[in-house]
Structure 1
Amino acid sequence: MAKPIPEKALQDIEAVVSAHPEGVGLQAVLEALEQSLPRRTLQYRLKYLVDAGRLIKTGEKRWVRYFLANTEPRTGSGVREPSHEEAAGAIPVSRQAAEIQNALRKPLRSRKPTGYQHSLNQYRPNHTAYLSPAERTHLREIGTPPSRPRPAGTYAKQILNRLLIDLSWNSSRLEGNTYSLLDTKRLIAFGEETAGKAHVESQMILNHKDAIEFLVGSAEDIGFNRYTILNLHALLANNLLADPEATGRLRRIAVGIEKSVFHPLEVPPLIEDYFDQILATASAIADPFEQAFFIMVQLPYLQPFDDVNKRVSRLAANIPFIKANLIPLSFTEVPADIYTEAMLGVYDLNRIGLLKDVFIWAYERSAAHYTAVRQSLGEPDPFRLRYRSELQGVVQDIVLERLGKKAAFNRVVQWAEQHIPQEDRGRFREVAENEVLSLHAGNFARYRIKPSEFSAWQEVWLGNP
């Protein structure tokens, strides 16, 4: 029979943890205790305290933190303080979120099966809110670039090359994709698959690239409507579903979720009704951050598609940011295991606390990242920004039609006469010619040109004085 743990030993551990309201790791507890303990003994005692509800455990592996059960690892305003754990990639979570994690770490057989709860749809836009006023204010402060009002999508276009890589990689990584960041850069820039990787992984990343380009390129037209979400799914699911006709189509089959006791809706008419209700509700929400988080909760919870639901929700969350010229959300450094737990909290427990902590932390990370990226890029040329689509069109034509140098420059002149106001034609010709002359193997992807198309054009271009 196991020897009982002395109460005094347990209280000593609680005293150490109580001195760290921001949370404390196992090694720090070990070093702070007056009595020297073997590491495994301390691990056993910490587990005992967590199981007894006296401590709260958050994170996994090197990110594990312990809190007293009656403490709240957030500031009173609801906006978290930055900490050393954040720099190391950990996500500090609220007490409510930690309770979700502890509930989900119980054996699957001990959790009660649940179906789709219609009560989650009893949400009144601009009256009900998942994010507090303090949280929304905080996110707007860090997510608003210092610039004058500009057309929808302007900010996202300025950082598009970085966004394509960051969001494609991180969203794919959260699905278990094993491509590295460098592998992703090569695939997006050169169409170069990494040896030893499954084709499904490269397809997933390239689908993300296409979907992000669709959102940014159609910034004026996208929204929480069927056109946007169905086409977003079609792009993200391209060549990945067993039934090719299921891309961009609402679900007609029953689906299950791994490691979950949640049973999604199975009746197609109900799926259609709730899908339309979610889109209508999201469209009516005034605050872009509340919109983004609402769609991250509700869309995967409904499971409206055969698969790829979470990917759709992560990219759809960027719709309000793209349209309002706010810093986008790329899920930089979000640990996949915590994100998965957060979604299981929504599915199995109908609780959003952990996902909210992940969302806020991830946006703080993205805001810091893209602020630095934007500063390193300098101020964009307003002329190139104004004629971005026209420049892309003429360069694309020259490459796809395999025009040599003389024919290419004639095409630029013709294009300018047909599409550009007279006062800007000279400047447009100069910029377009420079764009063509500057094309190389590392930058042609931004014109939506395939590697094979670029290689074929290069043979003509280099051999045609």
Structure 2
Amino acid sequence: MPKHNAEHELRQIEQQIASYPQGVGITDLEKALSVAGMVLNRRSLLRRLSVLIESNRIRATGVFKGRVYWPLVPEPAEITEPGESLIPLSEAGHEVRSYVSQPIQRREPVGYKRDLLLSYPQSGPYLDDAIRSHLHQIGRSHQGVLPAGTVARQVMGRLLIDLSWASSYLEGNTYSLLETERLISFGQAAEGKNALETQMILNHKQAIEFLVESADEVGFNRYSILNLHALLSDNLLPNPEACGLLRQIAVGIGGSVYTPLSTPQLLDEYFQRVLDTAAAITDPFEQSFFALVHLSYLQPFEDVNKRVARLTANIPLIGNNLCPLSFIDVPKRAYVEGILGVYELNRIELLRDIFVWGYERSVKRYLSAREELGEPDPFRLKYRSALTEVIRYVVLNPAAGTQEFVNAWTTKQIPEGDRQKFITLVQAELRGLHEGNIARFRLRPAEFKVWQEKA
């Protein structure tokens, strides 16, 4: 079946379930779909319901004949998630939240409105001078010029865990922060979790490593964003060929009345417009928030769009050696409501309030981690690229004489006064190389394993 037809059927099923706020059984759902002109056999319908559940577009309770399907709607406004009430909201933010917290049946269906994108920068900036000044003041922890990605590398261990967990949590992943740390640090998958949740977190780890280790090359361009999507969506999409490609099909948004753009040619045009506009912005925080807003709103991929937006929001921060944004402690419901404000009202105020609060939380976490680590070793910083080149060659050429190569390479490339110290550094890195740190040298697990067996 063509994918656009499958998505159309999923959307119809989702809409029928949305009309039953108290839940609906399979028999009544079949009748409602038949009245609407959609006839499916029981097995086909169950398969589509499973897809909707796995993609977090509906939920289900009970088993067998007692199984009931429910729409995903916001909880009543008076019930708050832990920490949610601590986020200070502007008056405009409260207005947005008041609207999007209504049941879905009370909100007006809307489509993609290009004016939100095309009116920028005349409609901007999204972050005013006071906000940008505040974020710069708290986010810059050093003086002087450092190579792109230096600050992120200093807190890499903590960043991998925090951002992988927080971004996955915002997608409904049930891994705890501690379980995420065990998975990333020791490769231990949590018991009782499905493979999709484990894969999601591991994909985040790989994508973050890509952003940090390629900080000199990554930017607001197709190479960066398409490859970021490929890493985040690896082994998670029904159609593996869709990884790293702009979508050619229509998609729906669970729990929202917003219908994204569906014309492939326009998607391509506006995707490029988002990248070009972001690249032209001079302030890294404005770039970050602009990318978060517009990649989420455009939904350029078949799935994993919000994950791409959250990691893309870190590109200008990492490149400018500002404290990264991990989304740690951001309540899921508050974040979803901020995104819904963009989707359904084209209003950014609530998401902006959450963005600023979330960044303040990230700064406190990473500055304390950085203080524990102290300042970076200036010698290692000076020869970072040379060290990566040597380590990569040694691992990728296990048959070559390691010490002979290191000595010869150092004699040719390193000033005489630094040679012995550089050789000592290489030896120390080779002794300490393990599967948890090989990404620093752009090595893959399979390459490391071959070297480990022959070393």
Distance 1:336 1:62, change over 3 A: closer
| Cα distance in 1 between the residues matched to 2:116 and 2:273 | 11
| Cα distance in 2 between the residues matched to 1:126 and 1:395 | 49
Show the counterpart of 2:229.
233
**1:150 counterpart (146, 152, 156):** 146
Give how far 1:161 is off.
2.3
**Aligned residues of 2:83 and 2:329 also touching (Cα < 8 A):** no
| Cα distance in 1 between the residues matched to 2:261 and 2:250 | 8
Give how far 1:184 is off.
2.1
Give how far 1:116 is off.
0.6
| Cα distance in 2 between the residues matched to 1:63 and 1:427 | 49
Distance 1:397 1:178, change over 3 A: farther
Q: TM-score, normalised to structure 1's length?
A: 0.75
Q: TM-score, normalised to structure 2's length?
A: 0.77
Identity of aligned residues (%): 53
Give how far 1:455 is off.
6.1
Distance 1:126 1:158, change over 3 A: farther
**Aligned residues of 2:83 and 2:331 also touching (Cα < 8 A):** no
Give how far 1:379 is off.
1.4
2:425 paired with 1:431? yes
Give how far 1:420 is off.
3.6
| Cα distance in 1 between the residues matched to 2:109 and 2:436 | 51
Distance 1:298 1:59, change over 3 A: farther
Query: What is the letter of the counterpart of residue 372 of structure 2?
Result: S
**1:223 counterpart (219, 223, 228):** 219
**1:174 counterpart (170, 176, 187):** 170
Show the counterpart of 2:372.
376
Show the counterpart of 2:207.
211
**1:348 counterpart (344, 347, 354):** 344
99-108 or 300-309, larger mean C-alpha shift: 99-108
2:90 paired with 1:94? yes
Matched pairs, number: 380
Structure 2 counterpart SS, 1:203: helix
Show the counterpart of 1:367.
363
2:247 paired with 1:251? yes
Show the counterpart of 1:80.
none
Query: What is the letter of the counterpart of residue 114 of structure 2?
Result: H
Extract unaligned runs of 5+ from structure 1: 1-55, 66-89
Query: What is the letter of the counterpart of residue 147 of structure 2?
Result: P
Give how far 1:293 is off.
0.6
Query: How is 1:32-111 mapped onto 2 (pairs within 5 angstroms)?
Result: 60-63=80-83, 65=85, 90-111=86-107
**2:403 counterpart (395, 409, 417):** 409
Give how far 1:99 is off.
2.1
CA RMSD of aligned residues (A): 2.5
**Aligned residues of 1:58 and 1:93 also touching (Cα < 8 A):** no
| Cα distance in 2 between the residues matched to 1:230 and 1:199 | 24
**Aligned residues of 2:84 and 2:334 also touching (Cα < 8 A):** no
Show the counterpart of 1:69.
none
| Cα distance in 1 between the residues matched to 2:129 and 2:314 | 20
**Aligned residues of 1:292 and 1:320 also touching (Cα < 8 A):** yes
2:132 paired with 1:136? yes
**1:294 counterpart (287, 290, 294):** 290
2:334 paired with 1:338? yes
Extract unaligned runs of 5+ from structure 2: 1-75
Give how far 1:453 is off.
6.0
**1:190 counterpart (186, 189, 195):** 186
Give how far 1:317 is off.
0.7
| Cα distance in 1 between the residues matched to 2:436 and 2:245 | 36
2:119 paired with 1:123? yes
Report which of the two structures shows the higher radius of gyration computed on alpha carbons: 1
| Cα distance in 1 between the residues matched to 2:334 and 2:80 | 8
**Aligned residues of 2:323 and 2:363 also touching (Cα < 8 A):** yes
| Cα distance in 2 between the residues matched to 1:244 and 1:166 | 27
Structure 2 counterpart SS, 1:166: helix
| Cα distance in 1 between the residues matched to 2:378 and 2:228 | 29
Show the counterpart of 2:23.
none
Distance 1:403 1:370, change over 3 A: farther
Give how far 1:395 is off.
3.3
